[in-house]
Structures are given as C-alpha cells and as structure tokens.
Amino acid sequence: MEKQMTALQISHILGEEYPREWVESLIEVPKKASFGDVSFPCFALAKSMRKKPAIIAGEIATRLKHPVFDQVEVQGGYINIFFDRAFITEHTLNQVLEDPEAYGSHTFGEGKNVVFDMSSPNIAKPFSMGHLRSTVIGNALANLMEKCGYTPVKVNYIGDYGTQFGKLLAAYTRWGDPDVVEADPIKELTKLYVTFHEAAEKEPSLIEEGREWFKKLETQDPEALTLWNWFREASLNEFNTLYEMLGVDFDWTRGEAYYTDKMEPVIKLLDEKGLLETSEGADVVQLGDTMPPCLIRKSNGTTTYATRDLAAAIDRYQSYPFEKSLYVVGSEQSLHFQQMKLVLKKAGFEWADRLEHVSFGMILQDGKKMSTRKGKTILLEEALEEAVAQALLNMKEKNPNLTNPEETARQVGVGAVIFHDLKQDRRHDIEFSLEDMLTFEGNTGPYLQYTHARACSLLRKGSFSAETPQPAGDDPEAWPLVKAVRAFPEMTQTACSTNDPSKIARYLLDLARTFNHYYAKSKILGSPSQQERLTLVYAFTVVLKEGLRLLGMAAPEHM
C-alpha cells in the first residue's frame, strides 16, 4: 500500500507523462534499513528531464510530503523514504484485528469464474508423485483466486480414455487374472501395463492390438466397456483416499470419456468452418507454417487428446462462463495447449484467449524422469505415509508429551510434501527427497508450522485475548515484523495475478524468519509492553496461518 501511495505522490509531482504504474514499478525496498523503507531511483528520468539523477531526486524530495512520511532523504540519485512507524504499526494491526480471516483479501475478481483443469490422474495407474504437482499447485491457485474474489471451479479431468487404455485392455485379456486384479486393482493393472510395453519391444504387433482394443472401446463393445468401468471405479476409490489426505476437493470430476458423444459435434463444427483437412488419411486443422497441424481424428477413425480437450473447453465455458480457464499441466504439454487455443480461435470462439497453460516442471527421482510404463515411479500414497511416520518420530523426540501426536504428524508430514513442491518456481524440475522435506530447520513446511506453534505458545503463556488487544505503540525492534505482516495483501495479489503460489511460500519463509529474529532479540513475556508485543505476535499468527491455508497446509498450535 505504501508503494502505491508513494508512487501516486511522485507521479503527481512529475506530471501525467509519468503514470503511477510506471513510477511504482521503479520503487524499491532497500536491503538495508538505513536506506529507508522504500526508495525511488531517479536514473530513468535523467534522459527525458535532461538533468542529473541527484538533482532530480532533490527537486522531487523537497515537494514530497505526506502525513505518513516521517523522513525523506536524498542519496545520490535515490530518494529514500522513511515511514511514520507508530502510525503504520497501529494501522496494520488494526487492519488485521478488524477481520482476521479477511486480511489479505481483495475484490477485483468478484463476479468472475476461474476454471481449473488440475490433478487429472489416469485411471488404472497409481497416483504417483508426478501427479502431485498439478494437484497442489492447482489447489493453491484456486485458494488464491478465491482470496481475491474470484469463484474458482476445480475440475478433475480424469484420464480415462485414449490409446493407453486399449493397451491395458489388450494386456489384461492376454495376461490378466481376475482374482489377482480384484485383490489389488491398481498395483496389478500397473504391472500389466508395464508388461505390455516390455512385451511390445519384442512383439511390435501388440501395439496394433492395443489400437484395436481402443477402437472397441470407442464403439461401445460390451466386453471393453465392462472391463473399463471396473478399472475406472477401482481407480477413483483410491484417488479419493489420497485427495482426502491432501485436503483437496473438486467441483467437477469428469473423465475424458464423458466427451465421447460430444466430440462428433466438434468435428462437424470444424468441418463446417472449413478448417478440417485430410492428411495421410487423418483429419487435421492446419495452424500455419510455424506450428504442426492439430490432429483431430486418426486415420483409423479414433479421436485424440485434442478432440476431447476441445469438446471439454466448449462444455466448460457453456457451464461456467469463465474469466480465465487455467490448465495446470506439465510443461511437456505446451505445444498441445498452443494448438488447442489456436483451433478454438480459428473456430470463432472469442473466449479462446482466456485459456492459459499454467505449466510446471517434473518431479525427478535420482535426477531422472519417473515413468509408469517403465515401472519407475514413486507412489504418492507411500510417500505421504512415510512422511507422516517420519514426522511422528521427529515430534516424539522433540515433544514426547504432545497431545494427539498422530493428527499433528499427519498435518506436518502432508504439509512437508506440499510445501516442498510449492516453495519452488513451478516451471523448474524438482528432486524428490523426504529427508529435505521433513527437517524442522531451513526452508521447509515443518519449520513454518513449528514457528506458528511457537508463536501460539507465547500467546497462551501471556494469556493473550484477541478480544482485548493493544495495537498501539512504537517498538523499534518490531518494525521489520510489522512491515512483513503489512506486505501480506500485496503478496496475495501478486501471487494471484502471476499464477505463482511460490511467491506466498517464499514470503512465509521470510515472515517466519523475521518473527524468529524478533522473538530472539525482544523480551515479550514480562516486558512493560507485553500486551502490545503479544498483539503483534497474534497478528503474525493470523497471517502465517492464512498463508499456510492458501497453500493447502494446516497450522498446528502445538508441536
């Protein structure tokens, strides 16, 4: 807020050719407190104003006045501004105390839908760590959108259609044992899928057999449908157990198969628009010289991912007219979404530009990509269970008298896995490491949760009540923490607008470190300013808890 206010003041002094947004983009937060709370560099003005930056800075500084500015200094070509700490502290804490749950909220998304295509695991395959990224990134972004006023619509677009299911059906009819599969469906179906690909390397005709089974599925062959329904139901039951552990739910769960009868109208529409062409027996839409054509229907008559995704996009807009439709899908699918968007634009759908691919990198195992077909993958359920077990051991060592340790261990273990993902720039590949995730020190989820519990312990010991806070007072040692708490609304807006939950994760790490530094340097309990300082501690817990919630994590009060 102070950056915007400062930018407005400077823009007013400079004149309309220097808009507030441009000025604000230049304002910095100095690394050293001695250089002010915010700083405006004047170097970008030197050419247009034909003056040295230091002269420009001096001229602006003499006119820069506002009740919240405590001091304005010029240093070289910089204007360094110090705020009235007592005023800012009281204003910030009153904002938090007025409505703790609403602090950091915005209204710019009111009345607008955002549809999320997220998670989207394939049936008859285990829910691997590779699916975790789409699930937790999508969930965090949906929470952020809701925080900013949007109505999020979370769609779990289950992979229950396509040539891979033809391969699975072929594998089951060759090697499957109904009793063995019934006992542990996902595990045994995965084995069959891996066996198929191993066998196909020696017997290439198996690939064609898989295609034939998929064609049977498309033509509603009774045997193919019965097996497919069985595989699908078993998979969904297992997925739901994992979603419950992660605390993730959905507004829609729709598989690709849902669009079986909706693909032909899309193909017909493309044909009527004159977009469909025949190429080597297949139906395609040409997308220019710089992009490969989009394959709509293969030469054997079967449809493609693109056909189903086009039908799904149209269906979603008709059901939930969206401001944005976000596809939280791995970066390897970038070309697919570019093609889909172009086809929709060519077909005349004005909302095609509202589709965005929120891409992300892979989770690696020993530096290599996981692969179900090669049998190289880490199962999410096993990873979560191990994380919870390790968290329980860690907490029993640190606090053997902890009440309800199992529930807290679940919150910490699951939170550790989630945070390890979300603290990273989503575009980067990340290495899976439970050891790194679960440490109580450093940039981890347990560190944040432990810091929250530590602050809650302070509030209990000081008998603090949110009903009788004391937000006033100028406490020099508290100023960095006040500024950190005050930054939360700006961070939620930025993370939402950039589709980047890592901004919240990294902010929370800075916030927690700032609190721990304040706690180490300041006497809180028993000090003359105990209530004022506990009020700040309470405000800190409000922001940390809400930030963790946005990421999909719990904030334990005891650890």
Query: For 227-256, what is each residue's pLDDT tens digit?
Result: 999 999 888 988 999 999 999 999 999 998
Structural domains present in the chain = 2-83 (3.30.1360.70), 119-369 (3.40.50.620), 380-551 (1.10.730.10)
Mean pLDDT computed over 119-124: 90
Q: How far apart are CA 504 and CA 316, in angstroms?
A: 29
- Residue type for 493, please? Q
376: confidence class by pLDDT, cuts 50, 70, 90: low
Residue 543 has pLDDT above 60, yes or no: yes
Residue 224 has pLDDT above 80, yes or no: yes
Q: How are strands ordered across the β-sheet holding 368-369?
A: 368-369, 363-365, 430-431
| Residue 91 neighbours by CB under 8 Å, 6+ apart | none
Residue 373 has pLDDT above 70, yes or no: no
Lookup: tokens for 109: 């998304």
Residue 397 has pLDDT above 60, yes or no: yes
374: confidence class by pLDDT, cuts 50, 70, 90: low
| Residue tagged 């930056």 (tokens) | 53
Of the candidates 386, 366, 389, the one whose C-alpha atom is nearest the C-alpha of residue 377 is 366
Lookup: tokens for 243: 């979603």
pLDDT the model gives residue 473? 64
Query: For 86-100, what is each residue's pLDDT tens digit?
Result: 999 999 999 999 999
Contact 360, 330 (CB under 8 A): yes
Q: How far apart are CA 323 and CA 122, in angstroms?
A: 28
Contact 135, 242 (CB under 8 A): no
Contact 337, 329 (CB under 8 A): yes
Query: For 164-221, what is each residue's pLDDT tens digit?
Result: 889 999 999 999 999 999 888 888 998 998 899 999 999 988 999 999 998 898 888 9
Q: Write the DSSP assignment of 447-496 as a string of letters.
A: HHHHHHHHHHHHHHHTT--TTS-------GGGHHHHHHHHTHHHHHHHHH
User: 45: which DSSP letter?
Assistant: G
Mean pLDDT computed over 457-472: 88
pLDDT the model gives residue 336? 96
Mean pLDDT computed over 266-273: 96
pLDDT the model gives residue 83? 93
